[in-house]
Amino acid sequence: MKIAVCVKQVPAKDAPLAILESGAWIRESDIGFETNEPDTFALEEALRLKEKHGGEVVAISMGPERSKQTIKEALAKGADRGIHVSDANFFKLDPLGSARSLAAAIQSENFDLILTGLQSDDQGFGQTGVLLAELLGRPHATIIMAIEVVENHMKLKRELEAGWFQHVELPLPAVLSIQSGINKPRYATLKGIMAAKKKEIATVDRATLNVPDAPTQKVERIYMPQKTKKTEFITGQPKEIAAKLVEKLRHEARVL
């Protein structure tokens, strides 16, 4: 099986976020980045499918130069090669523009299976997999909790809401968005990290893809959320905090 997995680099979970004065995006200069956690589950699933059925895993990431690091991490975990779609102003793309660019970059590869994570922890559009399927003319399924490949089709377990699941069958080639928690992603081994240095990362300049990217939507402004509730913050030493909180829950909120 020839499998593509889309991996995105996002600000680290604990990175302190500051918003640019223009409100267009966050200040990227002082923060660390990491692989989008939902994508690590998709990568792990791709590696397991390869181990079972043979073939190749290609890690694809779009973004500025720094996002190559995310491809390198995928290579260290066992992906065979990488494709970096480079664009320094990648954050300005809308979901359709992103998906069109990715589709254009991988179209000629004819992957049997394309996997994405559920959504990104930064913009959180959660549309890339579904859009890639439509643009590449492939069937798709999302929020996948199990994959079983039988000859040229797949039996899948989809998660629905409120504890429900559904089995669906889908022919290959196809696109799947993987639910977080489907597996336990592996760590890169030292051997894997060394081996990754010899693996190929092809770079495609997004501008050369000639993708129509007139946006369908525009983020006008990013800002700190407005509070819907007035939170009463309790301060002091741990013992004082505990005493005050218990007092308030007992006698003010009267819920204890």
Give residues 24-63 in contact with another protein (rule: CB under 8 A).
26
The residue within the footprint of another protein, chosen from 27, 52, 66, 167 (CB under 8 A), is 167
Question: Least CB distance from residue 81 to another protein, whole Å?
Answer: 28
**Closest to another protein by CB, 13 or 198:** 13
Query: Which range binds another protein by CB under 8 A, 45-53, 69-77, 107-115, 125-133?
Result: 125-133
Among 152, 197, 233, 251, binds another protein (CB under 8 A): 233
When asked if residue 150 is in the footprint of another protein (CB under 8 A), the reply is no
Beta bridge partners of 97: none
Q: Measured from the CB of residue 69, what is the shortest distance to another protein in angstroms? A: 19
Binding of another protein at residue 198 (CB under 8 A)? no
Strand-pairing partners, residue 144, are: 158, 178
Choose the stretch contacting another protein; rule: CB under 8 A; options: 62-70, 106-114, 128-136, 199-207: 128-136
Instruction: Say whether residue 238 binds another protein (CB under 8 A).
Output: yes
d(CA 116, CA 141): 11
Sequential DSSP letters for 74-112: HHHHT--EEEEEE-TTGGG--HHHHHHHHHHHHGGG--S
- Binding of residue 232 to another protein (CB under 8 A): yes
Q: Does 162 bind another protein (CB under 8 A)?
A: yes
189 contacts: CB under 8 Å, gap ≥ 6:
76
Task: Answer for the pair 127, 99: CB distance below 8 angstroms, yes or no.
Answer: yes
Residue with tokens 């010899």: 198
Q: The tokens of 126 are what?
A: 């959660």
